[in-house]
Amino acid sequence: MSSALNVETIPLADLPLGASHIEERGHRQVVLVVDDEEIIADTRVAILAGWGYAAMACYDAETALEMALVIPPEILISDVCLTGMNGVDLAVEIRSKVPDCKVILFSGQADSLNLLALARNAGHNFTLLQKPVHPVELLAHLTDFRPATRLRAKLIA
């Protein structure tokens, strides 16, 4: 865990909250957020919850795997660099158990590209964002994962 974070701070009040596009027909997408830096995981969960996602945090890969078996996520958001199992291996393992789970990985280290390339060669296509990830950028990627029925309802409305 690093002692100094070089991350832009954005007050939650400054984010464009408005969960109506997520909560149409009562469905909230389940998002599993994994980061060994608890403050980062908890902050992402707070932001996602404000946007209407059913978000939960885990601080290591092993706990995330257990959680995914109990509550299968529709979206996994994970740091690549975790203690023990890395985020790419975590994503592969979760996808083996929850095949439709969408994956967003983030990292600030160049070594992550090698892990991602190995995963791609094995047929896994994950989105990789560079740290620090701005909440608006993360939310923009999440809108790509909205189920088509709710997106169609939004366009018609």
Instruction: Give the domain ranges of the chain.
Output: 25-156
Q: Strands (DSSP E) along 108-151, which ranges?
A: 127-130
25-156: CATH class: alpha beta
pLDDT value for 65: 95
Contact 35, 131 (CB under 8 A): no
pLDDT value for 136: 84
39-68 pLDDT tens trace:
999 999 999 998 889 999 999 999 999 999
Residue 21, phi then psi, degrees to nearest 5? -70, -20
Query: Cα 34 to chain center, whole Å?
Result: 7
Containing 17, the helix (H) or strand (E) segment is: none
Q: Supply 56's token pair.
A: 């939960």
123-157 pLDDT tens trace:
677 778 887 888 888 888 887 776 654 444 444 44
